[in-house]
Structure 1
Amino acid sequence: MAKVEEELLNTLEKLKDDGFKTFKWYLELDDVLEGFKGIPVAKLENAARRDTVDLMVQKHQDHGALQLTKKILEKIYRNDLVQSLQNFQPEPKAGGGRKKVLGRYMVILTRKYQKTTDGTDESGNETLLKAIYTEVYITEGKSKEDNAQHEVRQLETASSTKILHDTPIKCHDIFKVLPGQQEHIINIVLTSGVAGVGKTFSVQKFILDWAEGSENKDISLLIPLPFRELNVVKNEPHSLLTLIRRFYPTLKDVTEEMLDSEDFKVLFILDGLDESRLSLDFNNSEVVSDVTQKSSVSMLLTSLIKANLLPRALIWITSRPAAANQILDQKCADRITELVKSTQTQFDGGLFNWTEPEETADSGSMAASVITGLFLFFCLLQSASAELPITAEPGDNVTLPCKAPNNVNITAVEWIRPGLNRSDLDPDRYVYLKTDGHLNTADQDPSYVNRVQLKDDEMKNGDLSLILKNVTSNDEGTYECFYVEETGGKKNELIVYLIVKGEFVDVQQVETQRVDILD
């Protein structure tokens, strides 16, 4: 049995020049075969017969190229060549085609996501995800004040969450219409939640369930693209196809036709929008609409989220609330959800079966507040190492604490302030950045030059604490500490809120939280 490429080349060589020119003209058209997009004129214009075969196979795979060739030959009345191709028996490719390729890919995802680092284990040892995972509470809607409040304050004011549907959404049902809702298309879902609440945990469980075949079996292909990994390739030109293959070489046989097929459902999971260092401009009129078109990674992601690229694709974006409001055009989302520890609705509706007699309204409110406070305390114990916020006066030198596990070899440490310089022209400005023993001042925000240094320049015992000199009122806000292990894994280790005395601040809005790789 011969290879498809050889048979197609033999067939095209039997066409005279005029016939070959007409053949290429049909290749430029959409829907010669229903659902098959044409090959761009620029690629076909000077393509010889061998080049034309390569373009067809690259775009439509072997089977699609064979079917398309037969259809065009029918249109140019070369039924003799059609009959020859009808009798052709293609040689099966090693690996067994689409099912085999995706089977290997699912095994790779299972091995990657079946374990996680438990946030309570400072040694960095991994644990089976299923052994520690607990179901999260996802509501449709978002907190009314999620852009203005500090994240820990949001936990306390969870009762203000505007819930659009009473029933909590299970993680694996994130794209499904809920009972009682009017049928509508849900292709793009945004899920926000505070640090440590379990966004990345939920994503990991969703991926693992799909890879093991226990949930969402209607999804043909699931592609995780965490923003922390996309940051690494932000300056590389890519098409969507090459970007996928950059992270998942196993998917090298996935084609444009597969991604855009109606019977091939694709899901992209974009986890950690708040960690993005891409220049996502949703007001830019430039679009990418072809998965083979090369562009910047930022433009690819923007076009994908705006549904200009693969409009049928499913997309799940996770983020902390502030970043979701600052970066993302939320009109792009078909469903906006929030992942929370709990809400007052849960307190009132059954978690504690709390009912408040009218005659004890005041005492009942007080009791409910106590319960909410206790619950908040529980959340902080579960997802963070709670400390007092750091306070300083103008002119002081202050230490922002951060500590990595003792047994980790650290190659880089990064301190940032979320939203400090999030713009297209200047997206990457750090409070402090040290890589491979060298301080990076080129990417440092000018307001921190010569004002910050590590408490221990050698980072002994994992001490990544930062000294900030000559504090001003402009320094007040949230600081995040990251470190990179020698193996290449980046972790968000601590969030610190700095209060500068002399300005009004609601102390209840701030806490110091320990956050591991879970978020």
Structure 2
Amino acid sequence: MAVNSLDLLFRTLDDLESEDLKRFRTYLFDSEGNMEGFKPIPKGKLEDSDATDVASKMKEAYGGEGSVKMTLTILRKMNLNNLADKLERDAAESGKRDEGVIVQNSTKEDEDAIVNEVKETHKKWMIKKFGKIYECIEEGKNKTLLSKIYTELYITEGESEGVNTQHEVRRIETQSKFHRDNKDKINSNDIFKCVLEHDKIRTVMTTGIAGIGKTVCVQKFILDWAEGRAHRDVDFIFALPFRQFNLKQNVSYSLHKLLLHFHPEMDEKVINPHMLRKSNIIFIFDGLDESKLSLNIEQDIDIYDPLKTASVEVLIANLIKANLLPNAFIWITSRPAAVKWIPPKYIDRWTEVQGFNDQQKNEYFKKKIENEAEADKVITHIKSSKSLYIMCHIPVFCWILASVLLKMINQTSTSYLPQTLTEVYICFLLTETNRKCQKYGKGIEQDDKKRLQSNREAILK
């Protein structure tokens, strides 16, 4: 099948209406909908998946050619023959181009063109994967364009002071009393930029407390690159979250195969070890604190060949030590408590996500809440409560407040708005419990007491 078979799937599934995509997913986990010899994909893997995720999971399960065949079969069963015909034409045309490249003695220009096509496919895939942010609201509206609500975070250069056991409100209040020196502030797109020309920053560690915005910062960094706003000299960015590595604890890969596993849009023949060595690459390892791997950077086996097989933790260690792809850049994010797993001598720059300053708090709510009058009302209320306003230093708390207050403002029967952290968390718990009832089909119980009582066991756990 053609080099960009996954791209064909992306484009095809992206053209489906939300209800049609839901039906399409049903065919994939229903054995009656599958072609002979193709095993169904478990329902749990497909639940709530968007077009990007579905295409990736199909590629992983059936390969490029098998995925296209399966898609054609399902589309025809759904009587979406026009879409099926278009996919068939595009696949045939792409296959002819691929065959022509194999038959002819390709020139350097041909090879460059093929590599550039793979790079563009990779960027499109990353835009679809990271261009939206999951906001945990009702199905069909659970993803928002990141560029629409993203608010620049306050990031400073320097090593974190470590784990802080002080109450979060008091700690944040203490921090806010200190003058933030702008010379220490750094833009996320500049984390690999050297202050002095002769310096080289290869590995960056970014720390920050839970909910401060580390993962969203990474997501925006990737999106800016993929859409051509930053790092135009970078060929590939590989995002490899530690949470997903936990599922690969007992599996061995070569670095080459590991990248193909996590980035199925890449073509194995084009993205070979030689190409990896000469490309400008950034590896992003997000959420070190979530890792269950046995990382032992100093004692792990040394590996220099991207085709040599080893455990995932050994591959990560050798990337960090610059044994594998020494010219690649490494970005690691973590909560402060876990940074000790990486010896400081392997880190060239330390940065810390400080969250929102007062101006960024206001900017977030104005972006998040489209109605200007409602946004002003929410901001006014938050500023009237010292503890709430201080806590808005943490982006995830801003999201919780926006979710709670916007709903209560729109309820004509509600005259009182929560003033304390406890009241906010109670209202948020009610909101999430109601969402759970909607999602899993138990109906909506209008009475909060009845709803909480029916969910008592889950809440206590």
So what's the TM-score if we normalise by structure 2?
0.55
Task: Identify the match of residue 274 of structure 1 among 265, 289, 310.
Answer: 289
Kept in 2, the 8 Å contact 1:222–1:266? The answer is: yes
**2:459 paired with 1:465:** yes
Work out the CA distance in 1 between the residues paired with 2:186 and 2:272: 33
Stretch deviating more after TM superposition (251-260 or 154-163): 154-163
Question: Cα 1:118–1:148, aligned 2, differ >3 Å: closer, same or farther?
Answer: same
Which runs of structure 2 are paired with 1:102-141 in the superposition (5 Å)?
102-118=119-135, 121=137, 125-141=142-158
Preserved CA contact (<8 Å) 2:160 2:207: no
Q: Give the C-alpha shift of residue 110 in structure 1.
A: 0.8
**Residue 118 of structure 1, CA deviation:** 2.9
Decide whether the 8 Å contact of 2:300 with 2:317 is kept in 1: no
Q: Shift in Å at residue 158 of structure 1?
A: 2.8
Contact map agreement 1:139 1:339 (CA 8 A) in 2: yes
Question: Equivalent of 2:350, from 321, 336, 344?
Answer: 336
Query: Residue in 2 aligned with 1:445?
Result: none
| Paired position in structure 1 for 2:422 | 387
The answer as to whether partners of 1:109 and 1:207 remain within 8 angstroms in 2 is: yes
In proportion to residue count, which structure has more strand? Answer: 1
1:376 equivalent to 2:385? Answer no
Separation (CA, whole Å) in 2 of partners of 1:146 and 1:341: 16
C-alpha deviation, 1:218, in angstroms: 1.1
Do 1:118 and 1:125's aligned partners in 2 also have CA atoms closer than 8 Å?
yes
Partner of 2:271: 254
Mapped partners of 1:388, 1:195: distance in 2 = 21
Query: For the structure 1 residues 294 and 161, does the alpha-carbon distance in structure 2 shift closer, same or farther, using more than 3 Å as the test?
Result: farther
Counterpart in the other structure of 1:168: 185
Higher relative contact order (Cα pairs below 8 Å, separated by 6+ residues): 2
Rate the CA distance shift 1:182–1:371 in 2: closer, same or farther, 3 A: farther
Cα 1:245–1:168 shift into 2, 3 Å: same
Q: Which has the larger radius of gyration?
A: 1
Partners of 2:385 and 2:159 in 1: how far apart? 22
Number of equivalent positions: 294
Return the alpha-carbon distance in structure 2 between the equivalents of residues 371 and 185 of structure 1. 46
1:97 maps to which residue? 114
SS at match of 1:300: helix
Alignment pair present for 1:284 and 2:299? yes
In structure 1, distance between residues paired with 2:385 and 2:423: 21
Higher helix share: 2
Deviation string, structure 1 residues 494-515 (Cα, Å, up to 9, x no partner):
xxxxxxxxxxxxxxxxxxxxxx
| SS of match in other structure, 1:260 | helix
The CA distance in 2 between the partners of 1:311 and 1:135, in whole Å, is 31
Gaps spanning 5+ residues in structure 1: where?
1-87, 347-369, 391-401, 411-458, 468-519
Alignment of 1:26-425 (within 5 A): 90-91=105-106, 96-118=113-135, 121=137, 125-146=142-163, 154-158=171-175, 166-178=183-195, 181=196, 183-251=198-266, 252=268, 253-261=270-278, 264-325=279-340, 327-341=341-355, 375-379=389-393, 381-384=397-400, 386-387=421-422, 405-406=435-436, 407-408=438-439
Q: Taking every aligned residue pair, what percent have the same amino acid on both sides?
A: 37
Structure 1 distance, partners of 2:434, 2:252, is 34
Shift in CA distance, 271/217, structure 1 to aligned 2, threshold 3 Å:
same
Give the CA deviation at 1:143. 3.7
8 Å Cα contact 1:139/1:167 also seen in 2? yes
RMSD: 3.9
The CA distance in 2 between the partners of 1:323 and 1:245, in whole Å, is 28
Q: Per the alignment, do residues 221 and 409 of structure 1 end up closer, same or farther by CA in structure 2, a change over 3 Å counting? A: farther
1:136 deviates by 0.8
Shift of the alpha carbon at 1:331? 2.5
* Matched-pair contact (CA < 8 Å) for 2:162–2:336: no
Q: Find the aligned partners of 1:164 and 1:330 in 2 and give their Cα distance.
A: 25
